[in-house]
Chains A and B, each alone.
Chain A
Amino acid sequence: ETGVTQSPTHLIKTRGQQVTLRCSSQSGHNTVSWYQQALGQGPQFIFQYYREEENGRGNFPPRFSGLQFPNYSSELNVNALELDDSALYLCASSLGREQDFGPGTRLTVT
């Protein structure tokens, strides 16, 4: 097990609502990345934060946004939820190239 934790474990939301997912980094890691893993697919890169600044983004619309805090923990916010947003959301922290992943948050949008 890594030192990366995510909350909540599971979440059910209705289409159009907003959601916030949280991630606590491995101690000493200053970079956090978020990934979306739809059922039966590999993780897709959403964005990355380094020292509280977004420094990379995948092919996701602006309604996916994030924050990184001074203690390097992070939030992923998704507005105007769509059914296709149902997925496992993974957070990963890193200091170098290797990323340590948390257990994920399973989001279901109905």
Chain B
Amino acid sequence: AQSVAQPEDQVNVAEGNPLTVKCTYSVSGNPYLFWYVQYPNRGLQFLLKYITGDNLVKGSYGFEAEFNKSQTSFHLKKPSALVSDSALYFCAVSHGTYNDMRFGAGTRLTVKP
């Protein structure tokens, strides 16, 4: 069975500093990995995905993520955080024939001015 873990409930960074939100996954075979963001009282917004190919994936709003197969990680990064990046971030994995996604518990990112 596939699963993801987000080891940090909360990440705090200052505006303009780089940010990292961590994610590790467990899956047999090749994973499909995703990051979504959720703002209060909203659904999930897609940020980026890794399917195959280049390990560094670039996504929306200046976010990127690095797929590391040896460490089974898919950390989300941004070189310079904005206050508007403050939200709940979810890592997800899907695998195999069915496209069901398994989500992590989420990491709340707070960017302070």
- Chain A residues close to B by CB (< 8 Å): 2, 4, 31, 33, 35, 41-45, 48, 55-56, 58, 90, 92, 94, 96-104
A103 touches B106 (CB 8 A): no
Residue in A closest to B91 when the chains form the complex, CB atoms: A42
Residues from chain B with Cβ under 8 Å of A41 in the complex: 105-106
Residue from the list B44, B90, B102, B106 in contact with A45, Cβ < 8 A: B102
B100 touches A104 (CB 8 A): no
A56 touches B100 (CB 8 A): yes
In the docked arrangement, what's the CA distance between A58 and B2, Å? 12
Residue in A closest to B90 when the chains form the complex, CB atoms: A42
In the docked arrangement, what's the CA distance between A4 and B98, Å? 20
Q: Could you say which of A2, A44, A55, A97 has the most chain B C-beta atoms within 10 Å of its C-beta?
A: A97
B98 touches A55 (CB 8 A): yes
In the docked arrangement, what's the CA distance between A33 and B32, Å? 16
In the docked arrangement, what's the CA distance between A58 and B3, Å? 13
Contact A43 to B103, CB < 8 A, known contacts A97-B32, A97-B51, A100-B46? yes
In the complex, the 5 A-B pairs of residues with the closest C-beta atoms, listed nearest first: A42-B103, A56-B98, A101-B44, A101-B43, A103-B43
A98 touches B46 (CB 8 A): yes
A45 touches B46 (CB 8 A): no
Residues from chain B with Cβ under 8 Å of A100 in the complex: 46
A104 touches B99 (CB 8 A): no
Residues from chain A with Cβ under 8 Å of B104 in the complex: 42
Residues from chain B with Cβ under 8 Å of A42 in the complex: 90, 103-106
In the docked arrangement, what's the CA distance between A92 and B90, Å? 15
From residue B83, how far is it (CB to closest CB) to chain A in Å?
22
